């Protein structure tokens, strides 16, 4: 139990106790903590003390609060090198994680002129739009929104739930992705993005815009990645 007689505040004692349980594996990544009231009863402290201890552990990245679900031990962060020209599937396997995907949209679309300009297409051109939710070890990590010129319409017939887009492009066209131009900024999660990535609405996310080229130096696609930065350790 916690000791009221020593100088260390009770919230600090509770914080260290929970931190030790995480370090020793008694509280495992992804495990849900008891509700605040039950933790307060267990350690014979106030709910305010519990809240302060868990808030500090969240600030240190050891706990995470999921809207409407409670407080959980944070999952280990995955390394992601933004300088690598690798598919999500290839990059995931390099770090020993299991990649998967869920197609959110796969359709013909006339996008805004900014997208068409980047694709070097005239206004009003149809494009192939593919949006996917990417997961690592069944954890939602990234929303990918990509636009291709109409010559890539064969992608609409492909199974993109469990197959690498880079591999399909190579097999169907011989094109290998060789380079990209990227910009990175912070955005806030919309209601839909929050639902897909299992975060709160308005949570800060990384928005990576990219123009991706093949080995013939021609543009293959333009798109963006909406990344849950809390689950990644980024290398730039």
Measured CA to CA in angstroms, residue 74 lies from 30, 123, 136 at distances of 6, 46, 15
The reply to whether 89 and 205 lie within a common domain is yes
Pick from 82, 87, 95, 94: which is nearest to 168 by CA?
87
Q: What's the domain range around 59?
A: 10-73
The reply to whether 69 and 98 lie within a common domain is no
Q: Which helix (H) or strand (E) holds 70?
A: strand 70-73
Q: pLDDT tens for residues 79-129?
A: 666 667 778 888 887 777 888 999 999 999 999 999 999 999 999 999 999
- Looking at the predicted structure, is the pLDDT value of residue 134 above 70? yes
pTM of the predicted protein model: 0.71
Residue whose entry in the numeric block shows the structure tokens 């963006």: 224
**CATH number, domain at 33?**
1.10.10.10
Going by pLDDT thresholds of 50, 70 and 90, the confidence category of residue 199 is confident
Confidence at residue 235, expressed as pLDDT on a 0 to 100 scale = 62
Going by pLDDT thresholds of 50, 70 and 90, the confidence category of residue 230 is confident
- Beta bridge partners, 209, equal 183, 224
The reply to whether 29 and 98 lie within a common domain is no
Does residue 103 lie in a domain region?
yes
The reply to whether 54 and 114 lie within a common domain is no
Confidence at residue 188, expressed as pLDDT on a 0 to 100 scale = 95
Does residue 2 lie in a domain region?
no
Tally of domains within the chain = 2
The reply to whether 154 and 58 lie within a common domain is no
Mean pLDDT lowest among 4-8, 10-14, 120-124, 148-152? 4-8
The reply to whether 135 and 215 lie within a common domain is yes
CA distance 44 to 235: 43
Does residue 5 lie in a domain region?
no
The residue from 52, 73, 94 where one domain ends is 73
The residue from 73, 106, 122 where one domain ends is 73
SS3 217: coil
Average pLDDT, integer, range 207-235? 88
- Looking at the predicted structure, is the pLDDT value of residue 74 above 90? no
């Amino acid at each position: 139990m916690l000791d009221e007689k020593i100088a260390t505040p009770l919230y600090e004692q509770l914080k260290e106790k929970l931190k030790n349980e995480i370090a020793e594996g008694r509280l495992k990544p992804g495990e849900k903590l008891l509700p605040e009231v039950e933790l307060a009863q267990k350690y014979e402290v106030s709910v305010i003390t519990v809240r302060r201890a868990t808030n500090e552990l969240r600030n240190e990245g050891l706990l995470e609060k999921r809207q409407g679900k409670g407080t959980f031990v944070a999952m280990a962060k995955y390394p992601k090198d933004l300088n690598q020209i690798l598919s999500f599937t290839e990059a995931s396997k390099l770090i020993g994680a299991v990649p998967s995907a869920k197609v959110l949209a796969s359709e013909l679309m006339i996008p805004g002129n900014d997208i068409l300009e980047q694709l070097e297409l005239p206004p009003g051109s149809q494009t192939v739009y593919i949006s996917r939710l990417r997961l690592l070890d069944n954890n939602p990590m990234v929303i990918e929104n990509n636009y291709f010129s109409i010559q890539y319409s064969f992608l609409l017939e492909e199974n993109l739930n469990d197959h690498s887009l880079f591999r399909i492009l190579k097999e169907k066209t011989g094109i290998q992705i060789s380079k990209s131009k990227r910009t990175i900024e912070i955005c806030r999660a919309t209601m839909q993005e929050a639902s897909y990535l299992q975060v709160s609405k308005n949570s800060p996310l990384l928005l990576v815009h990219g123009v991706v080229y093949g080995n013939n130096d021609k543009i293959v696609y333009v798109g963006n990645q909406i990344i849950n930065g809390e689950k990644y350790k980024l290398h730039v």
